[in-house]
């Protein structure tokens, strides 16, 4: 006997780190998931277990082009999110954020779907206020090497709220802070994956800057829970809402913690800080707590242990050379 699926949900960037976890979580109950990805940074490996699920469908698609499907909800996660990836083709990165938002908003308008934009803490730039509240307009360099991502995401937020004002659409905007967990690219330039890979391979753990700069790291399961709660909240809750961990840690302390958890003897070395790299980053999540009843529940040590275990298994399966090259793998 066939089962009627009540919702069809589109996840753009669904084969990526966050997207694959979101697709997996959504495939419960009476929900079908359409995963759209151009595999610029996404990987078929991330969604391989989902391909046999009767409610899962994969389409290879670039969001800079329109997509004509029938859906009830849209999670717009498509965009390279690490500096190594988004600076590889900065013009395409901006197009993905801006044209992608226009195309997905157009689809949502036609289908009357509720749509969520995965924005970023990078809209705050090098913040003038700490911790960062949603009311902060940001301190962003519009012409720097990171601007393709920062300003692309800021423009996407503008488009979402213009569509909301002009067309009365149901929108949600989540400002995602640093997130980590299984399925991260081993060589994507992000601090957690970098440190773990270097520690497991016994290589020097490289810190950019003096290690005093801080970040707040949210485990992926908690982040996905926040996105779903935001999507399913009342229509009046548009955001933007900070979704991330308020637990702040210095990068030098993070490197030491990962080295210890990985039982590594790697040295910790210092390199110059990249251009426009923010000194401090921690979300004020009081709005998400009040409006969604959400706060992360996975402590950093537990989350890091799970992530290290994932990379250890990847190392066993693919070897050290493949581990370092995994980020360039394609479907």
List residues with catalytic annotation. Answer: 149
Task: For 193-247, give the DSSP string.
Answer: HHHHHHHHTTPPEEEESSS--EEE-EEHHHHHHHHHHHHTS-TT----EEES---
3-state secondary structure of 8: strand
Name the CA radius of gyration of the chain, rounded: 19
Q: Are 119 and 240 in contact (CB under 8 A)?
A: yes
Q: Are 78 and 119 in contact (CB under 8 A)?
A: no
Count CB neighbours of 228 within 10 A: 17
C-alpha to C-alpha distance for 165 and 11, rounded to whole angstroms: 24
Task: For 38-53, give the DSSP string.
Answer: --SS--HHHHGGGTT-
């Amino acid at each position: 006997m066939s089962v009627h699926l009540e919702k069809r949900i589109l996840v753009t960037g669904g084969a990526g780190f966050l997207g694959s976890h979101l697709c997996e979580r959504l495939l419960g109950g009476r929900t079908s998931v359409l995963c759209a990805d151009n595999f610029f940074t996404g990987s078929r490996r991330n969604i391989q277990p989902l391909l046999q699920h009767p409610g899962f469908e994969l389409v290879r698609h670039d969001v800079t082009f329109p997509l004509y499907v029938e859906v009830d909800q849209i999670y717009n996660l498509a965009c390279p999110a690490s500096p190594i990836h988004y600076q590889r083709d900065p013009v395409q990165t901006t197009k993905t954020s801006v044209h992608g938002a226009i195309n997905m908003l157009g689809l949502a308008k036609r289908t009357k779907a509720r749509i969520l934009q995965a924005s970023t803490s990078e809209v705050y730039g090098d913040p003038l206020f700490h911790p960062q509240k949603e009311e902060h307009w940001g301190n962003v360099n519009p012409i720097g090497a990171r601007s393709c991502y920062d300003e692309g995401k800021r423009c996407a937020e503008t488009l979402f709220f213009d569509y909301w004002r002009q067309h009365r659409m149901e929108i949600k905007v989540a400002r995602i802070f640093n997130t980590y967990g299984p399925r991260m690219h081993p060589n994507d330039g992000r601090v957690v994956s970098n440190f773990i890979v270097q520690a497991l391979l016994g290589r020097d753990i490289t810190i950019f800057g003096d290690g005093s700069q801080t970040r707040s790291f949210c485990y992926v399961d908690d982040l996905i829970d926040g996105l779903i709660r935001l999507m399913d909240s009342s229509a009046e809750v548009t955001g933007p809402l900070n979704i991330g961990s308020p637990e702040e840690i210095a990068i030098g302390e993070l490197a030491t913690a990962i080295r210890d958890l990985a039982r590594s003897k790697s040295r910790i070395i210092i390199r110059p800080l990249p251009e426009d790299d923010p000194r401090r980053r921690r979300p004020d999540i009081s709005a998400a707590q009040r409006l969604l009843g959400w706060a992360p529940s996975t402590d950093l040590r537990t989350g890091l242990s799970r992530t290290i275990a994932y990379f250890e298994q990847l190392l066993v399966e693919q070897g050290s050379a493949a581990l370092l090259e995994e980020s360039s793998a394609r479907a």
